Amino acid sequence: MNGSEFGRMVRRWRDRVSPETVGVPVGGRRRATGLRREELAGLAGISADYLTRLEQGRSTSPSAQVVESLARALRLPDAERDLLHELAGHASPGHDVVPSRIPPSVQRLLDRLSYTPVAVYDAAGTLIVANTAYDALMGDTTTWRGIERNAVWRNLLGPRSRVVLTPQERADLQARQVADLRLTVARYPADRNLGRLVSDLASHSPRFRELWGSGESGPRSEPSRHKTIDHPAVGRITLDCDALVIAADDLRILVYTAEPGTDDAERLALALVLGTQTLVE
């Protein structure tokens, strides 16, 4: 990797991104012509210290996931995204790997839903990006690294989420996720990261080995579109959870909303205010 050139390009592209275009509030006097370093780091889900080392060429081996997160936060077009991967020593993601790129049209949709809890997952169930409203509702996702960002791993081995599930609902969710992952592996057999994910899950989760070995397509019952979230500050909130599939890019977008005028809508609004205050402290 050409560390110094990678860092120079990131810094150059950071300077040209206006805060308004990426939803960063502009307040007071700004010395930076574009995004501040800590602002880009927050958008990319990495620490400001790590971004500093990358820009200064002192850290020379960012993962493909970090590079993709930076490209997404910088709103890079395809050619510049590919260049950033090449400067980091990675092959540009091709059609034989699970897509993690968020196209401009989807990004515009996310920008318009900035006050609605939204999360975007790839076909393997790995979280690509969650907005601030989602983190306020579900808990901070910016500290998740590597396999921690995968929903299959989190539901089998990670800490329990704020979503309230009965034992049967949790078992059905796990079966459905493993069945979906099996289909994804069939579509992207050359994706080495996907192979490592399956291997890691099989090594650590007996439940995964059981479901993977069964070859079943998952439970026949459809998941409920209503989800109850046990928020630590406002209590339980029952919301509509709609999953939007972007077929051309193999992405899944989860959107959480409440019926206007209901108690759940009021609790959601309060959760977003309290959660956002906590995240920016």
Digit-coded pLDDT (tens) for 133-169: 999 999 999 888 889 999 999 999 988 899 999 999 9
Does residue 241 sit in the same domain as residue 138? yes
Spatial distance between the Cα atoms of 127 and 253, rounded to a whole number of angstroms: 10
The answer to whether position 93 is within a domain reads no
Per the structure block, which two tokens stand in for 93? 């993601």
Does residue 130 sit in the same domain as residue 70? no
The answer to whether position 269 is within a domain reads yes
Question: Of 87, 112, 127, which residue sits at a domain end?
Answer: 87
Q: Are 42 and 25 in contact (CB under 8 A)?
A: no
Does residue 119 sit in the same domain as residue 225? yes
Question: Of 87, 121, 155, which residue sits at a domain end?
Answer: 87
Tell the residue number behind the tokens 């080995």, with chain if given.
Answer: 209
Q: Where are the alpha helices (DSSP H) in the chain?
A: 3-16, 37-44, 48-55, 64-73, 78-87, 104-112, 132-138, 151-156, 167-187, 192-204, 206-214, 263-280
pLDDT of residue 281: 52
pLDDT of residue 24: 74
The answer to whether position 97 is within a domain reads no
Determine the structural domain holding residue 29 and report its residue range.
3-87
Domain count along the chain: 2
The answer to whether position 96 is within a domain reads no
Does residue 70 sit in the same domain as residue 113? no
Question: Of 55, 87, 119, which residue sits at a domain end?
Answer: 87
Does residue 80 sit in the same domain as residue 127? no
The answer to whether position 14 is within a domain reads yes
Digit-coded pLDDT (tens) for 173-211: 999 999 999 999 999 998 888 999 999 999 999 999 999
Digit-coded pLDDT (tens) for 264-275: 999 999 999 998
Does residue 39 sit in the same domain as residue 157? no
pLDDT of residue 143: 83
Q: 252 in helix, strand or coil? A: strand
CATH of the domain at 44: 1.10.260.40
Does residue 77 sit in the same domain as residue 146? no
Does residue 154 sit in the same domain as residue 205? yes
Spatial distance between the Cα atoms of 208 and 202, rounded to a whole number of angstroms: 6
pTM as predicted: 0.79
Q: What value does the mean pLDDT of the chain take?
A: 89
Does residue 132 sit in the same domain as residue 46? no
Does residue 211 sit in the same domain as residue 116? yes
CATH of the domain at 206: 3.30.450.180
Position 63: which residue type? S
Does residue 244 sit in the same domain as residue 114? yes
Does residue 269 sit in the same domain as residue 138? yes
